[in-house]
């Protein structure tokens, strides 16, 4: 049996697949104080004996929450003499140019814990001033006396020559062995001092917390008899071993949401859909990502906490745009009398008012219940009984009466604002990047994705929506589909015309050696390993680069015309112009190393058959007046069945809403293919 667990802000999801292809699943409320307890609840809910499992993979919000809530370790920073304030100075940009009260991000390491050592390298890596070990010893002693739990080391130009950082790491292990240590050359070998320092600090800031969490999870699984392979989901769409995760916890920032994107990419490949927008709506947030030619878009410009006030993390992350709207998002009225939804969330405790667990504030789930879009008797496949009277009370007292609206008008207002807010994330990964949503297919997932997908598709004129099997568990399923994956980068500034293929191949060989060693340690076989090479390139005088895939044999390459024309074409696609006569420079070498998984799960329906046809009807409010709409169970539908809206299709953990005029057909894989009415 292979098990995947996705720990979200509101729910913890589990999917397990045995050797015969039987799928088990369960969902429980996340337990923030003890996340392992939520995993145990899921295992009990699915009646799974973890001792039978050969593989366990999981992703969680532990890492990103520690940063957003500033609950990481007390961290110190060691920098080159004269450069300790690079981390606080940051960049000279002003994200909100007209905000008179704009404030720069608050560093995770205060100035009194940012200390220096006497050393200096040239940008080429040559030593200008050797490391002064006496000053290093004083710095280490000062941090030890300050009571830091973790230390980030980021010396100037260590990406070009790691000798001084390596020696400083040895001194730290000798003089302060109990500290968690991150050396920048082991995290990121790329220039840009501020981003490299921030990434290293993030790794140290969450390192002790994540290490303790993974150790406790391994102990819990071990005590339950688990003796199989344990993997952790990464932000780049791959998985890694727990030991690697303890060294590089910063790569876990978006470990949960990206798994759903991986599953959507494989679904697109199986159905021949080249451009897909993955839309994941959970209890706290909604996330969107673009999949182009079966591959998710990846970015190295990611900010933990958002671009305006977040911390840059210069590591490959599947490009996800997130908004603070989910099923648990709270509706409220601002001082000017405007109705707002989110980003505050009722979370798992107390949850929406209709959960009956003490919540009194109106949420998106309460509004869906009032409009008849979800069934109080069949929420989570009858796993939770919703209390409509509490939802009515919350919406009436907090929204309807203050605004002079009827109950139904207030609920529709909450849903309209929510759908618009979430459509902004879809717009950000499509329209704002030059892609026409009319050329894409929307694939929703998460507990609320299928319920809101049609409204978002109508907002952006997306013509087709495909609801995958088990949409509420899609991220957990995606973890079972992910490969071992690690990304490497090395700054290598050269004029393209002034280098040779053999020189580039020689520089790549150092990255390839590290990749092969790591994958071998994690159990990947030689025949499973795939290496993908890229050159970050730019026209001379430009600041930023584009990654250009390299398919040629570099050692025998004598003509760079193919690579050059590929860069010009990419520049034309991204910026609408190119300059074929201008000199081109290489800036970074990038290597993506994959250990391909042996298994490929069919993204097809495996549910037990249920009674066919309508299971009843109920009044559902779409626009103003309620419509008497038929209700179907998804596992009662067969390939070729058609349903025309208005209608509601229910399954365990998710509800699919068809608006009037929408046409749905079940394909051979059990996917619900919906043609959206304009």
Does the pLDDT value for residue 382 go beyond 50?
A: no
Are the CB atoms for 66 and 252 separated by under 8 Å? no
Report the alpha-carbon distance of residue 278 to residue 508 in Å, rounded: 33
Instruction: Tell me the mean pLDDT in the region 289-308.
Output: 87
Going by C-beta distance under 8 Å and a sequence separation of 6 or more, which residues neighbour residue 374? 365, 368, 386, 451, 655
Q: Which of 68-72, 278-282, 418-422 has the lowest mean pLDDT?
A: 68-72
What pLDDT was estimated at residue 148? 97
Does the pLDDT value for residue 410 go beyond 90?
A: yes
HSE of 263 in the Cβ direction (CA atoms, 13 Å)?
Answer: 31
Does the pLDDT value for residue 294 go beyond 90?
A: no
Going by C-beta distance under 8 Å and a sequence separation of 6 or more, which residues neighbour residue 501? 552, 553, 554, 555, 556, 557, 558, 560
Report the alpha-carbon distance of residue 617 to residue 598 in Å, rounded: 45
Does the pLDDT value for residue 203 go beyond 70?
A: yes
Are the CB atoms for 298 and 94 separated by under 8 Å? no
Q: Containing H/E element for 25?
A: strand 23-29
Same fold, 2-67+210-252 and 257-324+418-480: yes
Pick the closest to residue 471 from 315, 603, 620 (CA basis).
603
Q: Which two tokens stand for residue 80?
A: 């080159």
Parallel, antiparallel or unpaired: strands 239-241 and 275-281? unpaired
Summarised one tens digit per residue, pLDDT across range 348-360 is: 778 899 988 888 9
% of the chain beyond a pLDDT of 90: 66
Summarised one tens digit per residue, pLDDT across range 595-629 is: 987 655 545 555 555 567 788 899 999 987 899 99
Summarised one tens digit per residue, pLDDT across range 211-235 is: 999 998 999 999 999 999 999 999 9
CATH node for 257-324+418-480: 3.30.420.40
What pLDDT was estimated at residue 605? 57
CA distances from 619 to 375, 531, 630, 633, 641 (A): 11, 55, 9, 17, 23
Instruction: Tell me the mean pLDDT in the region 496-500.
Output: 90
What pLDDT was estimated at residue 227? 93
Q: Does domain 483-595 have CATH number 3.30.1490?
A: yes
- Beta-sheet strand order (sheet of 654-658): 614-621, 626-633, 647-651, 654-658
% of the chain beyond a pLDDT of 70: 97
Give 567-595 as a DSSP string. HHHHHHHHHS---TTS-EEEEEEEEEEEE
Q: Which two tokens stand for residue 318?
A: 């599947």
Going by C-beta distance under 8 Å and a sequence separation of 6 or more, which residues neighbour residue 665? 640, 641, 642, 672, 673
What pLDDT was estimated at residue 383? 59
Going by C-beta distance under 8 Å and a sequence separation of 6 or more, which residues neighbour residue 126? 161
Q: Which two tokens stand for residue 247?
A: 């060294």
Does the pLDDT value for residue 644 go beyond 80?
A: yes
Are the CB atoms for 670 and 605 separated by under 8 Å? yes
Print burial letters for 453-475: b (CB count within 10 Å at least 16), e (below 16): bbbbbbbbebbebbbbbbbbbbb
What is the pLDDT confidence band of residue 661, given thresholds at 50, 70 and 90?
very high
Instruction: Tell me the mean pLDDT in the region 158-174.
Output: 96
DSSP for residue 400: I
Q: Which two tokens stand for residue 249?
A: 């916890």
Q: How many Cβ atoms from other residues are within 10 Å of residue 342's Cβ? A: 23
Q: How far does Cα 637 stand from its chain's mean position?
A: 32
Does the pLDDT value for residue 345 go beyond 90?
A: no
What is the pLDDT confidence band of residue 135, given thresholds at 50, 70 and 90?
very high
For residue 6, report the phi and psi dihedrals to the nearest 5 degrees: -115, 115
DSSP for residue 571: H
Report the alpha-carbon distance of residue 10 to residue 283 in Å, rounded: 5
Q: Which residue has the tokens 């050692």?
A: 555
Report the alpha-carbon distance of residue 595 to residue 433 in Å, rounded: 31
Are the CB atoms for 279 and 338 separated by under 8 Å? no
Q: Which residue has the tokens 């496949």?
A: 381
Instruction: Tell me the mean pLDDT in the region 534-562.
Output: 92
What is the pLDDT confidence band of residue 157, given thresholds at 50, 70 and 90?
very high
Report the alpha-carbon distance of residue 189 to residue 591 in Å, rounded: 12
Q: Which of 49-58, 113-122, 163-172, 375-384 has the lowest mean pLDDT?
A: 375-384
Residues in the chain: 678
Report the alpha-carbon distance of residue 135 to residue 105 in Å, rounded: 30
Computed over every residue of the chain, the mean pLDDT equals: 91
Domain limits of the chain?
2-67+210-252, 70-206, 257-324+418-480, 329-417, 483-595, 614-663
What pLDDT was estimated at residue 45? 86
Are the CB atoms for 461 and 438 separated by under 8 Å? yes
Q: Containing H/E element for 426?
A: helix 407-429
Q: Which two tokens stand for residue 377?
A: 């008797």
Looking at domain 2-67+210-252, its CATH class is alpha beta
DSSP for residue 677: P
């Amino acid at each position: 049996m292979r098990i995947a667990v996705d720990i979200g802000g509101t729910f913890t999801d589990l999917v397990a697949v045995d050797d015969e292809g039987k799928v088990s699943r369960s969902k429980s409320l996340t337990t923030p104080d003890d996340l392992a307890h939520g995993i145990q609840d899921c295992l009990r809910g699915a009646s799974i004996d973890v001792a039978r499992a050969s593989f366990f993979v999981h992703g969680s919000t532990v890492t990103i929450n520690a940063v957003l809530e500033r609950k990481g370790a007390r961290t110190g920073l060691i920098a080159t003499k004269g450069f300790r304030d690079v981390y606080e100075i940051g960049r000279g940009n002003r994200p909100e140019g007209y905000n008179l009260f704009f404030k720069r991000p608050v560093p995770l390491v205060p100035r009194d814990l940012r200390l220096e050592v006497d050393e200096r390298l040239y940008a080429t890596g040559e030593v200008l001033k050797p490391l002064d070990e006496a000053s290093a010893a004083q710095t280490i002693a000062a941090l030890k006396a300050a009571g830091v739990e973790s230390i980030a080391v980021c010396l100037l130009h260590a990406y070009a020559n790691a000798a001084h950082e390596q020696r400083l790491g040895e001194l730290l292990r000798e003089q302060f062995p109990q500290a968690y240590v991150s050396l920048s050359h082991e995290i990121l070998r790329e220039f840009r001092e501020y981003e490299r320092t921030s990434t290293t600090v993030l790794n140290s800031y969450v390192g002790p917390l994540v290490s303790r969490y993974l150790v406790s999870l391994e102990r819990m699984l071990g005590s339950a008899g688990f003796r199989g392979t344990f993997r952790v989901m990464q932000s780049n769409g791959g998985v890694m071993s727990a030991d690697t995760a303890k060294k590089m916890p910063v790569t876990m920032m978006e470990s949960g949401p990206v798994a759903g994107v991986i599953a959507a990419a494989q679904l697109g490949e199986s159905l021949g859909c080249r451009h897909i927008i993955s839309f994941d709506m959970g209890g706290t947030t909604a996330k969107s990502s673009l999949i182009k030619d079966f591959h998710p878009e990846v970015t190295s410009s990611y900010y933990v906490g958002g671009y305006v006030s977040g911390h840059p993390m210069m590591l490959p992350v599947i490009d996800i745009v997130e908004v603070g709207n989910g099923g648990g998002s709270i509706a409220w009225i601002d001082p000017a009398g405007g109705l707002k939804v989110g980003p505050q969330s009722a979370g798992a405790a107390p949850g929406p008012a209709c959960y009956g667990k003490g919540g009194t504030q109106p949420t998106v789930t309460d509004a869906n219940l009032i409009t008849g879009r979800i069934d109080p008797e069949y929420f989570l496949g009858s796993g939770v009984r919703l209390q409509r009277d509490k939802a009515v009370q919350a919406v009436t007292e907090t929204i309807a009466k203050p605004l002079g609206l009827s109950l139904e008008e207030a609920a529709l207002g909450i849903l309209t604002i929510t759908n618009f807010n979430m459509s902004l994330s879809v717009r950000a990964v499509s329209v704002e990047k030059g892609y026409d949503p009319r050329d894409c297919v929307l694939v929703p997932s998460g507990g609320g994705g299928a319920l809101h997908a049609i409204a978002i598709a109508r907002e952006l004129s997306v013509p087709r929506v495909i609801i995958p099997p088990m949409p509420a568990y899609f991220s957990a399923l995606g973890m079972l589909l992910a490969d071992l994956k690690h990304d490497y980068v090395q700054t290598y500034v050269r004029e393209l015309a002034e280098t040779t293929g053999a020189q580039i191949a020689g520089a790549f060989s150092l990255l390839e050696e590290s990749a092969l060693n790591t994958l071998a340690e994690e159990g990947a076989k030689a025949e499973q390993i795939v290496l993908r090479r890229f050159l970050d390139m730019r026209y001379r005088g430009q600041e930023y680069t584009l990654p250009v895939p390299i398919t040629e044999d570099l050692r025998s390459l004598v003509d760079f015309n193919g690579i050059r024309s590929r860069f010009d074409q990419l520049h034309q696609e991204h910026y609408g112009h190119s300059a074929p006569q201008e000199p081109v420079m290489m800036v970074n070498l990038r290597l993506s190393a994959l250990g391909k998984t042996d298994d490929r799960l069919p993204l097809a329906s495996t549910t037990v058959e249920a009674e066919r046809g309508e299971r009843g009807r109920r009044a559902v409010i779409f626009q103003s007046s309620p419509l008497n709409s038929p209700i179907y169970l998804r596992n009662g539908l067969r390939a070729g069945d058609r349903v025309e809206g208005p209608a509601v299709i229910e399954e365990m953990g998710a509800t699919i809403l068809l608006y009037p005029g929408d046409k749905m057909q079940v394909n051979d894989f059990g996917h619900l293919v919906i043609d959206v009415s304009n």
